[in-house]
Structure 1
Amino acid sequence: MMVLFSCIFLHYIIVPFHKFAYAINRMQTYHIHINGIVQGVGFRPLIYTLAMQMQLNGYVKNVTDGLHVYFNSSKNDADLFLEKILKSSPQQSIITSAELHKTIEKEFSNFSILVEEDSNLKDVLISPDNAICSVCRSELNDVNNRRYRYPFITCTQCGPRYSIINSLPYERHNSSMNKFIMCEKCNHEYNNVDDRRFFSQTNSCAECGVEMNMYENASTIVSNDSETILASVKNYFEQGKIISIKGIGGYLLLCAANSPETIELLRIRKHRPHKPFALLYPDIETIQNNFELSKQEKKLLESKEAPIVLLHPKPPAFANIAVQHIAPGLKRLGIMLPYSPLLELIAKDYGKPLIATSANISGSPIIYKDDDALAYLFDIADYIVTYNREIIIPEDDSVVQVSKASGLQIVLRRSRGYAPSFLDYIPQNKSCTLSTGALLKSSFTLTINGRVFVSQFLGSGESYESQEMYKNTLAYWMNLYDIKSCLIRADKHSGYFSHQYAVNIAEKANNKIQFIQHHQAHFAAVLAENNLLNSANSVLGIIWDGTGLGDDGNIWGGEFFKYENNTMARCYYFEYFPVIAGDKMALEPRISLLCALNKSWIHLEKIKVKFTESEWHNYQLLIRESKLFTSSVGRIFDAVASLLDLCDKQTYEGEAAMHLQALAEEYVAEKGFKMDSSYFREESIYYHVPTVTLMQEIIADIENGKSKGYIASKFHYSLVCLVGIIAKKSEVNKICFSGGVFQNSLLVDWVQNEYCKKYDLHFHKKLSPNDENISFGQMVYHDNNITSTSSTTNKVAEFMIYNAKL
């Protein structure tokens, strides 16, 4: 009986188990597909190395939809291979998906990296341009290294990516490195699995790589020897010369930061009378000695994105640089470290801070083409340093600040290092869509096969040159991903270039187009960034900016929305005041002041001195006849700045508001976040915030002898109090903030200080609060089928406009 049981056990249990074990461990063919930012970051060399260690045969290759690995393995080893890949993925990579499955059996004799074209659907994410890494920086300054002082040293972890790509997938022959044939030594590194430049697509050296030229005019080359050029650059800085240097995403203008005469000459040539300049420092130690630097700010400066970071100077800075000429009247300076090896050499050789600003005339986009640089930049620069690696797509430097008290990161300009891939939102709709954004802070957003791309900052849509850059960059993307047709979204304002161009594209391609209200797009953007689109509770959206066409045909900018059940309702807003003189009103804060005071005749005489007799008469007439009104908090900031005689005419966008903030910051630095009263009272707010009352009470404080610092601070505090008043009236716990006004770090800090324990506060994280986020918000609004209601808007707006005319 026992013998019979043993035979049965052996036949039905043991033998099948061995067959199962064999099935698990026998060699089969597997396929791993990884997507995200996985090209141009050293992923293929890593996988090759791991495959060699595990003795696997197969291949890895970049394809237009990511990275693919085919290999022979057992199921256990395949799982282990994927686990090792994910655990040791390159530092610069970001994985959004990783799939492993069996595929058609094929036997491989070795493991290799394949480079071949394919016709698959294109949806791979693009790696941004990364700052020089610490290892390359060390090699650059190592006299015994063969790349010592080679201005274009790179590796798999650093260097240009987005700015040099011609087509997908990311390969040398699909980039502007295609023209450079590697020398024997570089080729050996490229093919050596043990070398840190194994399969580095930007690999080059002084023998086979990028070459420089220095021009003294459009047709005369001074030198093409890198050491001679670098020595001349240092010498010319000491002589007070202005030099244009080709950077990663475009040309820069550099000059000594301690020479008021040189800086003023740069301002004259660049037509930039007061707007702040950024500074390039040679090392982090010098920055720490001259500026207040938090751990977070230091981390940003030294990050692979290497943005410009706004910092507060210490006393030593005032001895080393001409602070008041660099940032007149402001308390923060934009500081950056060298992000390319060429800038590293220039900054280290000079050893002192340099002005570093985009090479353009103010209002125009950055110049990035060599021919354009030689044709136009000699109106500004004394010398031009260029090189023969082409910039395919232009990028300005990104700008970031960290709010002083709360430590919140505020992106002011999202460009080099951050653009274009955006991984923090997955569209529900996988079809191709284009959202064309706003006007002054141009950007567009594309969704392609479930991927989101938010373009770099593309300048102001007002200038012809910026419009051309917008068109060219969009055309580049459409070609890169073979986009033939897509759903289009645009701002409602028909006067915006982005609106007009969207209509033009839609008509030519017979595509559908949807128009989305400006401030609702702002709200949708900040909701999405904070994962609040499906919130079970109502969310208050406070959207304050300079301008945006409202649903009632007026210019909104001081808005409070309530979001619930996938619907946005405009529940409160600032009292309307007249809009006159078109774009001139945004340029001249005194006009905003005149309009904001239009019903307060008793106080108008106090500001008459700001106008000529003819201006006074004409503007009064325009106010009486105005049919257009605004609720803009941006214009209210302008009005208050003018009332305090800080700025009557702006030379750059936001100048008046920045001076008002700087004045308030001085007061808060001494007194703290304390104020005896607010200009707003809860009982006076019914659907709208009384703008005229605000202005009248500020005038009362002026007449009572209150200091300008006190009034500037009280104005900020009043806006903070308003947040609490509206939140209480709206019965919400969650509050979102968006719009250009929330670039004001003092306001953000004060809101955090006042309400962080009372409300759930949400700000932008990786996008700017300004209009750069509009294109993303347009996409989110439509992707989530958000609706809007104006149940209170029309009725109350009619009442407000009637009052404004009185």
Structure 2
Amino acid sequence: MATEEIRVRGTVQGVGFRPTVYRLAKACGLLGDVCNDGEGVLIRVSGSEEAITKFIARLQTECPPLARINQLARTPYEGDLKFDNFVISTSVSNAIKTEITPDAATCPQCQQEIFDPFSRFYRYPFTNCTHCGPRLSIIREIPYDRCNTSMSAFAICPECAKEYHDVENRRFHAQPVACYACGPSAWLERADGKSVTASMFSMLDDVDAVCTLLQKGEIVAIKGLGGIHLACDATQETVVQKLRQRKKRYHKPFALMARDIKVIEEYCTVNAKEKELLASSAAPIVLLQATGKKVVAPSIISGQNTLGFMLPYTPLHHLILRRMNRPIVLTSGNLADEPQCIDNDEAKDKLRTIADYFLFHNREIINRVDDSVVRVISDKTQIIRRARGYAPASISLPPGFQDVPQILAMGSELKNTFCLLREGKAILSQHLGDLENAAAFNAYQETLNLYLNLFEHTPEVIAIDKHPEYLSSKLGKELSNTNQIPIHQIQHHHAHIAACMVENRIPLNSPPVLGIALDGLGYGDDGTLWGGEFLLADYRQFQRLATFKPVAMIGGEQATYQPWRNTYAQLIAAQLWDDCQEQYADLEIVKLLNKKPLKLLNQLIEKKINSPPASSVGRLFDAVAAAIGIYRDECSYEGQAAIAMEAIVDVSSLNNDKEAPIYPFSFSFSDSIYCIDPRPMWQALLNDLQQQIPQPVIAAKFHKGLANAIVEMVKHLYQENLINQVALTGGVFQNCILLQQVTKRLETLGIKVLTHSLVPANDGGLSLGQAVIAAAQLIHES
């Protein structure tokens, strides 16, 4: 007889892991016990060595669907184990080293039960089991037991208790288990405060009534899993426009939800990988190509050819959409740029002028969790926003990072996430939004405090972005000063590249990669704004090898939202404005620019007054889009013009160099750095505009030309430096066409290309890069 202690670490709490251990231990004839504690799951077993080995093998192959074993360690048990059976013991509280499971979409069995009239869960909107339901959104502290969640407010009834304690039941130790008799309830309210009853709609209940309201053209605020959403019929243009005006979200696309894949396929093409993502336990919003067979309201998307669809991921959503044969809008319940509402009273205060009705429930949302957004490019998932369904699942660090100290990385200003690093793992927060909004910054601080407490994380080092005005960086400095914690300032684009290296499992002591980081802007080591960088980088340091020609951002941040400013700055930098007056005076863009206060703009450029030079490829995209007539005057969000230009690209021109030759870029070398200059591209583009070449063809030629220029620079740097891998990162590489063009051309040259799939290429992945750079620097110092 052997007696062993088996320590299991990973995502092993709240996912049906202990019942699986119990079932397998009994099947293998073992005695002992299993319990949750701060490190994960602890198993003590007694039996033959053969039976224990068989048990461990089955545990790894028959792991529950939401569980993930990161480490399984066996040691001989020296104590006196007195068991005459195998049992599940009470959870133990000690140092927190385990993980929190992301919220999971309703499993097929629970879906079946809510539509089964003979089930006691029939039409119950909060049905769940160990395979699905709320996790991060309801947890206050670890271990993940009912008393540590917002379900502690609901005393479990005898029927649910029976299932909860039945080890053979799917709901064994499912902490949020509940039913009509004992669990949360949902109800409908009118925004004007007048009374409402389901009988007014001749419906089954308040949840079913929401479907009727949506069909009638009403806007309903729905309290869901990680926040409150605003919903309306996605096919009624009048109501969609009304929602845009009331919410003050004038252009950003609206997310859609549909009852099932069949409804989605009436509006979009959906490949196998996309279907898999839609139906996964993460249930993200998936960006899909619109087909045009059936169309949603025109103002759902402005200047784009993709629709963001998700499937119902809670019983509440399944019940609402049961009778809905068309998509609904399901967008965050907030005013533009503010955090999503999570509290009933807060929603009534902030959303009463937007929604006509509210569908509330009384289960408290502890953690705000937005919907995740993904897309599939060349059969590879690209995460654009990492939140519900993915966060806070840990990311295993590559070899060499096993013994890093606890590190806190504060992230960026836009699309913020923060990151906790410890014991070879990175815990990335859910998407927290743009910190320039005061409410978002407050929510960021609240979530940060909650994570630090949840994981008992005491940072030994804080990593921040080098930009002196980022609120996340300022907060990091405050925490550093208050708690006497060393601080590491990390260059923005180096962090982008390091994040890409981590998720591609590049070991700590690997040779440098060539990182190409293209984005809006980041603070450079020389105090200027960077945004089109070629860096020879490892985790610890980097060398800037090449960049795009810096061009003034006239008016600073205004240039992000008024693309014409970038066009004028580019033409001035290319010394083509005089040519525009002489040869291209009839072009619409030139006429528009001549109406602007050019004398003042020239003074701003010359004297560098609020017009910093930036090597931003994001602003280059804006400049080209404005030149060809896309969102010339105003954009309501960063990258809007660039996204719209990507959407109109003519595919045949993209694939045919004879019909649409590549726009040229030139290359120069000075001050020990190579530079890509778009001047020849502008000359060719102006000629095309004069010849009235269609927008889609010009857009294709620009994408091809830019991709070709990037690859030509790589070929040159490749010969001069010992490079065997290229990492593509930064928000600009969320452009599907550019990413595919660059990747294809590099792979043709035999170069290994690293891209993102676990964290966003945009600033949402920045905190991961900051954390591992700080870790690498610490390891080197020690």
TM-score of the aligned structures, taking structure 2 as reference length: 0.93
Find 1:106's aligned residue among 70, 81, 85.
81
1:396, distance to aligned residue in structure 2 (A): 0.7
Answering whether residue 546 of structure 2 is matched by residue 576 of structure 1, we say: no
Aligned twin of 2:90: 115
1:350, distance to aligned residue in structure 2 (A): 2.3
1:54, distance to aligned residue in structure 2 (A): 2.9
Please give the residue correspondences for 1:459-608 in structure 2 after superposition, counting only pairs within 5 Å: 459-533=433-507, 538-563=512-537, 567-599=541-573, 600=575, 601-603=577-579, 605=581, 606=585, 607=589
Give the secondary-structure state (helix, strand or coil) at the position aligned to 1:197.
coil
Answering whether residue 644 of structure 2 is matched by residue 668 of structure 1, we say: no
In the alignment, the residues of structure 2 paired with residue 246 and residue 316 of structure 1 have an alpha-carbon distance, to the nearest angstrom, of: 32
Specify the code of the residue in structure 1 equivalent to 2:757: K
1:567, distance to aligned residue in structure 2 (A): 4.1
Aligned twin of 2:393: 421
Give the secondary-structure state (helix, strand or coil) at the position aligned to 2:520.
coil
Unaligned ranges ≥5, structure 2: none
Specify the code of the residue in structure 2 equivalent to 1:234: C
Specify the code of the residue in structure 2 equivalent to 1:413: R
Specify the code of the residue in structure 2 equivalent to 1:734: Q
Give the secondary-structure state (helix, strand or coil) at the position aligned to 1:558.
strand
In the alignment, the residues of structure 2 paired with residue 603 and residue 336 of structure 1 have an alpha-carbon distance, to the nearest angstrom, of: 50
Answering whether residue 69 of structure 2 is matched by residue 69 of structure 1, we say: no
In the alignment, the residues of structure 1 paired with residue 415 and residue 744 of structure 2 have an alpha-carbon distance, to the nearest angstrom, of: 29
In the alignment, the residues of structure 1 paired with residue 470 and residue 665 of structure 2 have an alpha-carbon distance, to the nearest angstrom, of: 37
Find 1:622's aligned residue among 575, 580, 604.
604
Specify the code of the residue in structure 1 equivalent to 2:623: A
Cα–Cα, structure 1 residues 349 and 683, in superposed 2: closer, same or farther, change >3 Å? closer
Find 1:734's aligned residue among 722, 725, 742.
725
Aligned twin of 1:631: 615
Aligned twin of 1:34: 8
- Aligned 8 A contact 1:589 1:642 in 2: yes
Specify the code of the residue in structure 2 equivalent to 1:695: W
Find 1:777's aligned residue among 752, 761, 769.
769
Cα–Cα, structure 1 residues 250 and 565, in superposed 2: closer, same or farther, change >3 Å? closer
Deviations 1:372-418 (A, max 9, x none): 11211112111111111111101110011112xx2232211111000
The count of corresponding residues between Structure 1 and Structure 2 is 754
Q: Which moved more, 1:262-271 or 1:611-620?
A: 611-620
Aligned twin of 1:5: none
Identity %: 34
Aligned twin of 2:375: 401
1:351, distance to aligned residue in structure 2 (A): 2.7
Unaligned ranges ≥5, structure 1: 1-25, 789-806
Aligned twin of 2:703: 716
Cα–Cα, structure 1 residues 768 and 221, in superposed 2: closer, same or farther, change >3 Å? farther
Aligned twin of 2:274: 297
1:580, distance to aligned residue in structure 2 (A): 2.8
1:330, distance to aligned residue in structure 2 (A): 1.1
1:428, distance to aligned residue in structure 2 (A): 3.8
In the alignment, the residues of structure 2 paired with residue 763 and residue 709 of structure 1 have an alpha-carbon distance, to the nearest angstrom, of: 27
In the alignment, the residues of structure 2 paired with residue 533 and residue 65 of structure 1 have an alpha-carbon distance, to the nearest angstrom, of: 26
Aligned twin of 1:275: 252
- Aligned 8 A contact 2:32 2:83 in 1: yes
In the alignment, the residues of structure 1 paired with residue 437 and residue 490 of structure 2 have an alpha-carbon distance, to the nearest angstrom, of: 23
Aligned twin of 1:14: none
Aligned twin of 1:230: 207
Cα–Cα, structure 1 residues 733 and 619, in superposed 2: closer, same or farther, change >3 Å? same
Q: Which moved more, 1:135-144 or 1:388-397?
A: 135-144
Specify the code of the residue in structure 1 equivalent to 2:620: I
- Aligned 8 A contact 1:213 1:224 in 2: no
In the alignment, the residues of structure 2 paired with residue 194 and residue 358 of structure 1 have an alpha-carbon distance, to the nearest angstrom, of: 39
Cα–Cα, structure 1 residues 449 and 71, in superposed 2: closer, same or farther, change >3 Å? same
1:458, distance to aligned residue in structure 2 (A): 0.3
Aligned twin of 1:640: 624
- Aligned 8 A contact 1:533 1:566 in 2: no
- Aligned 8 A contact 1:428 1:783 in 2: no
In the alignment, the residues of structure 2 paired with residue 247 and residue 564 of structure 1 have an alpha-carbon distance, to the nearest angstrom, of: 43
Cα–Cα, structure 1 residues 549 and 670, in superposed 2: closer, same or farther, change >3 Å? closer
Aligned twin of 1:285: 262
Find 1:44's aligned residue among 18, 31, 34.
18
Answering whether residue 642 of structure 2 is matched by residue 657 of structure 1, we say: yes
1:490, distance to aligned residue in structure 2 (A): 0.2
In the alignment, the residues of structure 1 paired with residue 180 and residue 580 of structure 2 have an alpha-carbon distance, to the nearest angstrom, of: 69
TM-score of the aligned structures, taking structure 1 as reference length: 0.90
Cα–Cα, structure 1 residues 770 and 486, in superposed 2: closer, same or farther, change >3 Å? same
Cα–Cα, structure 1 residues 39 and 536, in superposed 2: closer, same or farther, change >3 Å? closer
Specify the code of the residue in structure 1 equivalent to 2:691: N
In the alignment, the residues of structure 1 paired with residue 686 and residue 724 of structure 2 have an alpha-carbon distance, to the nearest angstrom, of: 34
Q: CA RMSD in A?
A: 2.2
Answering whether residue 226 of structure 2 is matched by residue 249 of structure 1, we say: yes
In the alignment, the residues of structure 2 paired with residue 271 and residue 681 of structure 1 have an alpha-carbon distance, to the nearest angstrom, of: 40
Give the secondary-structure state (helix, strand or coil) at the position aligned to 2:748.
coil
Cα–Cα, structure 1 residues 561 and 108, in superposed 2: closer, same or farther, change >3 Å? same
Find 2:712's aligned residue among 725, 744, 753.
725
Cα–Cα, structure 1 residues 224 and 428, in superposed 2: closer, same or farther, change >3 Å? farther
In the alignment, the residues of structure 1 paired with residue 197 and residue 476 of structure 2 have an alpha-carbon distance, to the nearest angstrom, of: 46
Specify the code of the residue in structure 2 equivalent to 1:431: P
Q: Which moved more, 1:587-596 or 1:724-733?
A: 724-733
In the alignment, the residues of structure 2 paired with residue 408 and residue 382 of structure 1 have an alpha-carbon distance, to the nearest angstrom, of: 40
In the alignment, the residues of structure 1 paired with residue 594 and residue 431 of structure 2 have an alpha-carbon distance, to the nearest angstrom, of: 39
Aligned twin of 2:687: 700
In the alignment, the residues of structure 2 paired with residue 752 and residue 641 of structure 1 have an alpha-carbon distance, to the nearest angstrom, of: 23
Specify the code of the residue in structure 1 equivalent to 2:80: E
Cα–Cα, structure 1 residues 204 and 224, in superposed 2: closer, same or farther, change >3 Å? farther
Give the secondary-structure state (helix, strand or coil) at the position aligned to 1:784.
helix
Cα–Cα, structure 1 residues 126 and 604, in superposed 2: closer, same or farther, change >3 Å? farther
Bigger CA radius of gyration: 1
In the alignment, the residues of structure 1 paired with residue 27 and residue 402 of structure 2 have an alpha-carbon distance, to the nearest angstrom, of: 40
In the alignment, the residues of structure 2 paired with residue 590 and residue 210 of structure 1 have an alpha-carbon distance, to the nearest angstrom, of: 53
Q: Which moved more, 1:686-695 or 1:224-233?
A: 224-233
Cα–Cα, structure 1 residues 613 and 660, in superposed 2: closer, same or farther, change >3 Å? closer
- Aligned 8 A contact 1:561 1:572 in 2: yes
Specify the code of the residue in structure 1 equivalent to 2:331: T
Deviations 1:346-365 (A, max 9, x none): 11222321011111111111
Give the secondary-structure state (helix, strand or coil) at the position aligned to 2:111.
helix
In the alignment, the residues of structure 2 paired with residue 556 and residue 221 of structure 1 have an alpha-carbon distance, to the nearest angstrom, of: 57
Give the secondary-structure state (helix, strand or coil) at the position aligned to 1:199.
coil
Give the secondary-structure state (helix, strand or coil) at the position aligned to 1:200.
coil
Give the secondary-structure state (helix, strand or coil) at the position aligned to 2:651.
helix
Specify the code of the residue in structure 2 equivalent to 1:352: R
In the alignment, the residues of structure 2 paired with residue 739 and residue 715 of structure 1 have an alpha-carbon distance, to the nearest angstrom, of: 19
- Aligned 8 A contact 2:34 2:87 in 1: yes
Deviations 1:578-612 (A, max 9, x none): 23312111111111112122232314545454358
Cα–Cα, structure 1 residues 534 and 486, in superposed 2: closer, same or farther, change >3 Å? closer
In the alignment, the residues of structure 2 paired with residue 233 and residue 132 of structure 1 have an alpha-carbon distance, to the nearest angstrom, of: 20
Please give the residue correspondences for 1:120-269 in structure 2 after superposition, counting only pairs within 5 Å: 120-217=94-191, 222-223=196-197, 227-269=204-246
Cα–Cα, structure 1 residues 73 and 39, in superposed 2: closer, same or farther, change >3 Å? same
1:565, distance to aligned residue in structure 2 (A): 9.6
1:116, distance to aligned residue in structure 2 (A): 3.4
1:651, distance to aligned residue in structure 2 (A): 1.2
Aligned twin of 2:759: 767
Give the secondary-structure state (helix, strand or coil) at the position aligned to 1:494.
coil
Give the secondary-structure state (helix, strand or coil) at the position aligned to 1:349.
coil
Specify the code of the residue in structure 1 equivalent to 2:85: N
Cα–Cα, structure 1 residues 224 and 110, in superposed 2: closer, same or farther, change >3 Å? farther
1:751, distance to aligned residue in structure 2 (A): 2.2
1:423, distance to aligned residue in structure 2 (A): 2.6
